[in-house]
Amino acid sequence: MNAFHSKLLEAAGSDFVKMGEPMKNHTTFRVGGPASWYVTPKDETALAAVVSLCRAENVPYYIIGNGSNLLVSDNGYEGVIVSMSESWNYCRIEGCRITAGAGALLSRIARAALDASLTGFEFAAGIPGTLGGAVVMNAGAYGSEMKYVLESARVLDREGRIRNLSLEELELGYRKSCILANGYIVLEAVLLLEAGDQAAVKARMDELAGQRREKQPLEYPSAGSTFKRPAGYFAGKLIQDAGLRGFRLGGAQVSEKHCGFVINRDHATAADVLNLCREVQRKVKDDFGVDLEMEVKMLGKF
């Protein structure tokens, strides 16, 4: 690995590589052990070089933004974490179009849209993720989702080429896109919004923020909705009806405010979170015959 480390420093630059970086500092769950390498590429050339090196050397790598939909093992990650949250954290507005980097927080983009009196992105203001992840998973809330505002995305493909994908080519569906299947990395995206009344946009954002505070456990670390919505059901309702409101294992707990959220209630470990999720899945399956699928991505050895 010493040879790989030297090559990684050459590809990314020594100022952009950390070893043994605790992933609890980079996930909204606030759990996770150290990554072997944590890289923040300074530009597209460095990003392509890092990814190409990892593939050539068969070293695992994983792309992250805000770490808002991620559960990293307590044992950490034996590979390279590539963070897009620094060099791709930009947002530009031209008319009704917003061009933003994959590392830009959705909340920042929503604020920029508000300042420019643009409407259509209010739904995303409270989602604690970045644009790249939102494109990959077609993030949505309050009756809207990315596919309704996304015009195109710029990606890096597996061969290191830059591609511009139209909305249709992205194949957005419920919590999915073509990005993962094709091994693409989102670099930036273009949103097409509509001119609106600034006061009305702010009122809607404030309304949704109020609903989130009332219904979601924002005071605790979490990864948002923990389970995907099963066909014909709501995950939170199933968990509640299974008698699991407030159910706790170690420092992890099913939120008492919203049963669809698993929270880090008190210094939880990743193992606490996963064990609790597995127990929730077992109980819901036994009681209702429904398989709950994790929406949160797991990384590392559990």
On whether the CB atoms of residues 31 and 273 are closer than 8 A, the answer is: yes
* Active site residues per annotation: 175, 225, 295
How far, CA to CA in Å, does 222 sit from each of 136, 179, 266, 271? 20, 25, 12, 14
- 64: region left, alpha or beta (phi > 0 left; psi from -120 to 50 alpha): beta
Using the Cα atoms of residue 44, residue 49, residue 52 and residue 55 in order, give the sign of their dihedral.
negative
> Of the candidates 130, 151, 142, which has an alpha carbon nearest to the alpha carbon of residue 204?
142
Q: Give the separation between CA 194 and CA 96, rounded to whole angstroms.
A: 6
DSSP one-letter code for 25:
G
